[in-house]
Amino acid sequence: MTKRVHQDYFKRETAEVSQFVADLKDNSAPSGVFDSAAAEDFITESASRGDSKMPEKLATVLDEVGGEGKIKVTRAILDGISAFEGQHGTEPSADVIEQAIHSAYATTDDARRRFHLDSASSDHHDQISLQPNRAVIAILSAIGEAIPFAHYLPADIGSNEAILAIMTHDAGSTHGAYAEGAIMDGTHSGDSYISSSRVHKCTIAVDGEGEPTGAITGKLTTVQDSDETCAPASPGVKLLRGRSIVYVNGLVVGKEVDSSGTGNSTVSGTTVIEGTTYLIGGSINTDTGAIALTSTPALPVSVPVHVEGFIDYERDPSVTPRIISSVKTFRLNAKPWRVITQQTIDSRTQMANELGLDPYSESVIAIQAQFGNERHYETLLKAKRLAQNNQVDFDFDWDGQKQEKTLAQIWGDFASILAVVSQQMAIDTMNHGITHIYVGKNIAAQFMSLPRELFVPSGVVERPGIFRVGTLFGRYEVYYTPKVVVEGDTTAQILCIGRATDVTRNPFVLGDAVPPTVVPLAVNQDLKTGAGFYARNFTSVNPHGPSARGAAMINVKNLRH
């Protein structure tokens, strides 16, 4: 079953792609099977409607391929989505599909005229630019080879760069628990700032011999420097008169008795502690926040006394706090990828005649596989470097526990370790915890042996490269990788990566300025034929510090051997 994953789309174009693809899937398979006529009707109707939400770049692609090409492109989108679901057990996010559409757009005449990507000119068009197969390949490659934990940001074809914009929220003034400029996102959010309430744990005065005198003092100020106290050196505040509350041991024991006037406001109350009744008196100055209480008899020093007051913003509007929303932008620059493959006429004809193989086609397939694998491993290596910021050890202790516990029970204990690391990741990134795990063959094999309530296999047959093994503890997608993670006889690394809920907060942001393109090479006098492969893209660690901390490493020791 395909797992549904919540994603937030703050970019209008990406949100439109999400809605369009959902509508396309619903309308192209009304009976559960792809219906080309229904798909064509939906595409035609979407393009003709004034309120159409068809992505602009997709509309350009469909206009250029025309006729049967529209069905091929539409089918490519749906086939790419299906292939992704089969590989990863979840739907591709809209930014992945948007990148695929962007890649298809890069094959059009419109893109070539704008950005001079090939031989198209004002005098003559590129005679192969309207072939729908080029758009189809771009779409299938972009979706089918998408890295499961990455988010994609289409790069501008002309400038070869993408702009990553991150919204942050900061305190605009020193107020409550925040200093001016302090970040208010993620776990930094939620401390006292907007509320008018101020709480202060008062000081019980003592004499020269350390005995309480009955005097209880303190001050309510604009700055709440801890959960228990206000900063005494900060400016006092004007309080709502008649609203302050006195707490002893967390219980309400006294209140102001005056609801009008200025200056000191009388406080009255009583409390009973271990059979002794204490009378609470004194006053709170509602113009300065000064607290001057008394207790008769004197309260023990060990008894906590708190006073809560409420800022009167109408009497002093200048202390009203402000929240500043700002956007930080980062530029991600694309880099080129290129390789060529050539075959002599003799080798090509011999392989074709004796083996029935086309070395040209086989070489192109190998190039495409190398490109996809190389990019995936490059991203995993970057994740491994980032994981140094969040590392823990898990002592499997097989020799010490095998008499009392089964293999499954010990791996069950691993859930708590994983949860702690995941929560730390959520704190560090201010967005998300672990979603994907990469392991070697030994850990993958042990996971496969676990009962189904702990691990659900993906059903994907083993292969020499990266593939999804299954789902651990009902939430973590586990992938096998033959590279990057290191395994020993009794040790292993488990690389944990989190995929953010939106593109800008993901630890890894990928994008293509020019999609993977295969260009036939000219035949020279040596009669060698071949092809050139070219792509221009970026595979970047998020330059926003907190967002980049979405990787962790768990070092397992004392495994079963």
What's phi and psi for 348, nearest 5 deg? -65, -45
Phi-psi region of 32 (alpha: psi -120 to 50; beta: other; left: phi over 0): left
Give the whole-angstrom CA distance, residue 9 versus residue 21. 14
| pLDDT at position 440 | 96
Tokens of 336: 């080129």
Q: List, in sequence order, every residue forming a beta bridge with 307; answer none if it has no partner.
A: 200, 246
Rg from Cα positions in the chain: 33
Please report the pLDDT score of residue 19 as a whole number: 84
Phi, psi of 461 (to 5 degrees): -70, 145
Q: Are 469 and 439 in contact (CB under 8 A)?
A: yes
DSSP assignment string, 311-365: B-TTT-GGG---EEEEEEEEEEE-EEEEEEEEE-HHHHHHHHHHH---HHHHHHH
Beta carbons of 15 and 9 less than 8 angstroms apart: yes
- What residue ranges in 207-304 does DSSP mark as E strands? 212-219, 245-248, 251-256, 264-273, 276-285, 290-296
Q: Identify which of 64, 52, 218 has the alpha carbon closest to the alpha carbon of residue 132.
A: 64
What's the pLDDT score for residue 76?
Answer: 87
Q: What's the confidence (pLDDT) of residue 4?
A: 53
pLDDT along the chain (561 residues), means of 10: 55 79 79 70 70 76 81 86 87 88 80 54 42 74 87 78 88 94 90 95 93 95 94 92 95 91 92 95 95 96 96 94 91 89 77 68 79 93 96 95 93 95 95 96 95 94 93 96 95 96 91 80 80 87 94 95 74
- Global pTM value: 0.81
